[in-house]
């Protein structure tokens, strides 16, 4: 397939439609009011759906010139509107006729991936997945990774020290850091961050530092020849690896019953559950804010934390960082190679999952 021309993405006037998030625990936004002002002043037509759970009040968007629409009304948005969000769409059988910008989690053979892509193909829309909106070196142009890693490690520390308050609730970094510093526990423990050099890994290391813990740090060099016994000798493991190709799993089902296992708390920031790229195939579903910890083994105990929207626990800080990175990219919508690559990746994923190219419609 030849690379798509720029004009196949661009319209005369960009109309961005910021949707309400369907997930009740999603408090973040891809564009904060301060950056919404930048978009409006640059000539972007911006529609923002009302959302009582969004950390920034709807009135702040209206004050900077955005048009306000009811929650969920994107389904009847003008055909040329680009629908902007973060997490999954409502799980319905409806065709998707718009171009959508969000984290689709549909390109690694995750459960439900084929159904989602078929909805786009049937309606003639397209998924412009934020995970694949990357620069020429393949680096994401906007990401929540740092905050995901920070929270993944913070929750692991609090759980391991028996200081985790359930259900989880959104907070601010100062309050979270106070909890980390105030929970030293009775004994020191060993911690390991895998994927320590990436965005998520840096965040995890920062949280451990706040908690007064110096973790062991592994990245590509250490995982190529994985010393599984050394991994299991750590009491806390935070997985921050973004796998792009299948690799041998870091922890296997049989490792959970290994007599020498010292691992007690496992925090999976990546949450590739159900994907063949999952490096921790020892659980079959994520955990939730209401029940964030699942016990995988009773004796000796092993607890799992696997929350796939961790940054929403620090919604204000994580949204501000993400929005600052994404807004310049939105201002160049359709005009750069990054957007063309993003659309081409959608077409490739459809073919990989058996969605016929003839079904693509206008996308």
- The catalytically annotated residue of 20, 105, 234, 347 is 105
Helices within the chain (DSSP H only): 33-41, 58-63, 113-123, 145-160, 173-181, 199-210, 220-224, 228-232, 315-330, 337-352
Look at residues 124, 118, 207, 206 and name the one whose alpha carbon lies nearest to residue 159.
207
Residue reference for tokens 């301060």 = 34
The answer to whether 15 is a known catalytic residue is: no
Helix/strand/coil for 343: helix
Cβ pair 143, 196 in contact under 8 A: no
The answer to whether 87 is a known catalytic residue is: yes
Q: For residue 11, what are its two tokens?
A: 């319209």
Strand ranges across the sheet with 236-239? 216-218, 191-194, 236-239, 265-268, 301-305, 293-298
**Beta strand 293-298 pairing with 301-305:** antiparallel
Cβ pair 271, 307 in contact under 8 A: yes
Give CA separation, 18 vs 26, 84, 311, in Å.
14, 5, 19
DSSP 259: T
Tally the C-alpha atoms within 13 A of residue 360's C-alpha that lie toward its C-beta: 18
Q: For residue 333, what are its two tokens?
A: 């919508």
Cβ pair 264, 235 in contact under 8 A: yes
* Nearest-angstrom CA–CA distance, 291 and 257: 24
Opening angle at CA 119, ends 116 and 122, nearest 5: 150
* Nearest-angstrom CA–CA distance, 334 and 322: 19
Here the contacts of 349-352 (C-beta below 8 Å, separation 24 or greater) are 349/106, 349/107, 349/113, 349/117, 349/127, 350/117, 350/120, 350/121, 352/107
Look at residues 308, 283, 303 and name the one whose alpha carbon lies nearest to residue 293.
303
List active site positions.
87, 105
């Amino acid at each position: 397939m030849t690379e798509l021309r720029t004009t196949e993405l661009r319209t005369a006037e960009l109309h961005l439609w910021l949707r309400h998030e369907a997930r009740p625990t999603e408090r973040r936004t891809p564009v904060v009011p301060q950056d919404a002002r930048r978009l409006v002043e640059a000539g972007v037509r911006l529609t923002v759906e009302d959302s009582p759970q969004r950390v920034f009040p709807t009135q702040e968007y209206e004050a900077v010139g955005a048009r306000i629409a009811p929650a969920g009304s994107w389904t009847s948005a003008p055909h040329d509107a680009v629908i902007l969000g973060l997490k999954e769409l409502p799980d319905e059988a409806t065709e998707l006729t718009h171009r959508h910008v969000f984290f689709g989690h549909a390109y690694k053979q995750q459960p439900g991936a084929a159904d989602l892509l078929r909805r786009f193909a049937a309606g003639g829309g397209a998924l412009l997945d934020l995970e694949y909106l990357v620069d020429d070196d393949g680096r994401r142009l906007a990401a929540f990774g740092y905050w995901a890693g920070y929270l993944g490690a913070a929750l692991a520390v609090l759980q391991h020290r028996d200081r985790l308050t359930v259900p989880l609730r959104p907070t601010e970094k100062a309050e979270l850091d106070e909890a980390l510093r105030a929970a030293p526990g009775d004994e020191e423990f060993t911690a390991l961050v895998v994927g320590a050099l990436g965005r998520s890994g840096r965040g995890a290391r920062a949280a451990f530092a706040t908690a007064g813990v110096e973790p062991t740090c592994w990245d590509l060099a250490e995982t190529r020849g994985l010393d599984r016994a050394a991994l299991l000798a750590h009491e806390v493991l935070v997985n921050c690896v973004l796998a792009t190709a299948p690799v041998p799993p870091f922890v296997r089902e049989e490792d959970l019953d290994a007599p020498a296992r010292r691992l007690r708390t496992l925090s999976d920031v990546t949450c590739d559950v159900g994907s063949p790229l999952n490096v921790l195939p020892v659980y079959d579903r994520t955990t939730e804010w209401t029940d964030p910890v699942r016990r995988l083994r009773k004796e000796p105990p092993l607890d799992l934390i696997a929350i796939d929207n961790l940054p929403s626990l620090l919604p204000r800080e994580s949204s501000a960082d993400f929005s600052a990175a994404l807004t310049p990219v939105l201002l160049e919508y359709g005009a750069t190679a990054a957007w063309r690559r993003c659309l081409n990746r959608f077409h490739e994923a459809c073919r990989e999952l058996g969605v016929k190219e003839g079904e693509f419609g206008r996308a």
